[in-house]
Amino acid sequence: MLRDESIDVPSNCNWNDHSDSHAVRCDQVHHRLKRIVKARGSLDAQEAAALLEAQELRLWRRYGHNSLLDYMEREMGYTPRAALERLRVADAIQALPQIGEALAQGQLSFSGARELTRVATGETEGEWLEAATDKNMRQIEDLIAGHQKGDRPTDPAEPSLRKKVLRFEVKPETYALARQVQKILEQERGERLDNDAVMAALCRDFLDARESGETRRARTRAAYQVAVTVCEKCKRGWQDGGGVTVEMSPPAIERAQCDAERIGSVDGDDITRAKQDIPEPTRRKVLRRDHGRCRVPGCRSQNVDVHHIVPRAEGGTHEASALCCLCEGHHLALHEGSLSISGIAPDLVFTRHVPSAYKNATLGVEATQALRGLGFKQHEIKAAMEKTRTHVGSADLTLEQWVRIALGYCPRPTS
């Protein structure tokens, strides 16, 4: 037996103290710890339900974040991987009520639920819960290994499903290259990729010696080549995509016009040469200066627009010092009013604002009065304002924008 001579053990210490007081204290601490574990499971279940509701409400926009993952990292303190797993489990237990109930009752830890939801289905979750009973996390991981979604615990493990570990220690510049490649692959596939998918794609590309033919120069054209139509009279906007046309909110219109390529009127036979608002050399310089990623502190997104710090309508220019890179989410948050920027690029200060429900209620009343002054009937105003409040939501808009949206829902004059 190994013994640490540096530890001074009292001669009168009895490691097998079975006195009544000792036993009582052990029982008390044991029950306290069990209650904590049960409470933690219940809180994890409540958090999962709240995350699903937050996803439905698109809550992160109200607080100036670009996604629910960004919100979880900044407001809840999760790492990106932990946030992803929390969201995955929250989605999974919607279809796995027994696992969700076991988590809520403290009979299953979040770590256990995380592993079981990788393989369990509505038909097999009972069997997996039974198989995991009285097992620690290491045993549960061994139980899951070699199985895939839909398998039963009694099914033989598939060796090819057992993951292998590859570890690399690289220089910072190599790490930056790997992150950039992963972003490109995710954009091409339209989904987030795990480490296995990224490594497999890289290896296949190398072995197949594929060459995409795309140039490796920085993107200098406007961020998006999407069809957005803005009415010159009412300033409402619509976007085409996937065979449908949808109306855009005022903040989304402002975001599109901030970094746009204009093709002129789509009516008639006149052909106008497309013109980019921001000159290509300036756009290239801004992208390089901001390292091709969103400037909001803590944001890692590389799918960016170039934003005018001071709006063009308020005297803003196309100078590089008056421009910065913002991701889609933060760009929309800025035009909605839940995020603001001050300073001259690259020395910028970002401030988040919680939209005021009182302010929006006041603007709703003022917009109603404006419609009444324009001669609309009471029932027309009521119907238009109900749709306007739904359209605006929690966005921080001006009275002019409120009235403009409301007019779009009012009946047009017959004369």
What CA–CA distance (Å, rounded) separates 226 from 189? 19
What CA–CA distance (Å, rounded) separates 117 from 113? 6
In total, the chain counts a number of residues equal to 415
89 band by pLDDT with thresholds 50, 70 and 90: very high
Continuous H helices in 191-327 = 195-208, 250-258, 280-289
Mean per-residue pLDDT for 235-248? Answer: 56
Mean per-residue pLDDT for 68-80? Answer: 91
CA 223 to chain centre: 20
Q: What is the per-residue pLDDT across 156-208, written as a single tens digit (0 to 9) for each?
A: 877 666 777 788 887 777 777 788 888 887 776 666 777 887 887 787 677 65
* Pairing verdict, β 304-308 and 275-276: unpaired
- Backbone Cα Rg of the chain: 29
* Backbone dihedral angles phi then psi of residue 66, each to the nearest 5 degrees: -95, -10
Q: What is the DSSP letter of 3?
A: -
Angle between helices 172-189 and 195-208 (to 10 degrees): 90
Domain ranges of the chain: 23-161, 172-208, 227-352, 357-409
Mean pLDDT of the chain: 79
Q: What is the per-residue pLDDT across 295-339, written as a single tens digit (0 to 9) for each?
A: 988 887 777 889 888 887 778 888 999 999 998 778 888 887 778
Following CA atoms 165, 112, 76, 101 in sequence, which dihedral angle do they give, to the nearest 10 degrees? Answer: 150
On the question of pLDDT at 245 being above 90, the answer is no
Q: What is the per-residue pLDDT across 107-144, written as a single tens digit (0 to 9) for each?
A: 899 999 999 999 999 999 999 999 999 888 989 988 99
CATH number of 23-161: 1.10.287, 1.10.10, 3.40.50, 1.10.3930? 1.10.10
* % of the chain with per-residue pLDDT over 70: 76
Q: What is the per-residue pLDDT across 346-378, written as a single tens digit (0 to 9) for each?
A: 899 998 876 666 677 788 888 888 888 888 888
* % of the chain with per-residue pLDDT over 90: 25
Burial of 294 (0-12, 13-18, 19+ CB in 10 A): buried
Question: Euclidean distance between the first and final Cα of the chain, in Å?
Answer: 101
Closest CA to 324 of 292, 299, 277, 300: 292
What CA–CA distance (Å, rounded) separates 47 from 85? 13
Whole-number pLDDT of residue 13: 46
Give the DSSP per-residue string, 38-64. HHHHHHHHHHHHHHHHHHHHTGGGGGT
Q: Which residue has the higher pLDDT, 256 or 403?
A: 403
Whole-number pLDDT of residue 4: 41
On the question of pLDDT at 281 being above 80, the answer is yes
CA 342 to chain centre: 25
What CA–CA distance (Å, rounded) separates 174 from 253? 38
Q: List for the chain the helix, strand, coil content (%; round to 5).
A: 50, 10, 40
Burial of 332 (0-12, 13-18, 19+ CB in 10 A): buried
Angle at 45 between CA 39 and CA 49, to 5 degrees: 140
Token readout for 267 is 């009516």
On the question of pLDDT at 83 being above 70, the answer is yes
80 band by pLDDT with thresholds 50, 70 and 90: confident
CA 411 to chain centre: 38
Burial of 267 (0-12, 13-18, 19+ CB in 10 A): exposed
Q: How many of the other CB atoms lie within 10 Å of CB of 37?
A: 13
Whole-number pLDDT of residue 375: 87
What CA–CA distance (Å, rounded) separates 72 from 80? 8
What CA–CA distance (Å, rounded) separates 22 from 18? 6
Q: What is the per-residue pLDDT across 116-126, written as a single tens digit (0 to 9) for each?
A: 999 999 999 99
Closest CA to 47 of 97, 98, 100: 100
Q: How many of the other CB atoms lie within 10 Å of CB of 51?
A: 21
Which residues, listed in sequence order, are joined to residue 344 by a DSSP beta bridge?
A: 347
**Taking a C-beta distance cutoff of 8 angstroms, is the pair 99, 129 a contact?**
yes
User: Buried b vs exposed e over 199-224: b needs ≥16 C-beta within 10 Å?
Assistant: eebeeeeeeeeeeeeeeeeeeeebbb
Whole-number pLDDT of residue 198: 83
On the question of pLDDT at 232 being above 80, the answer is no
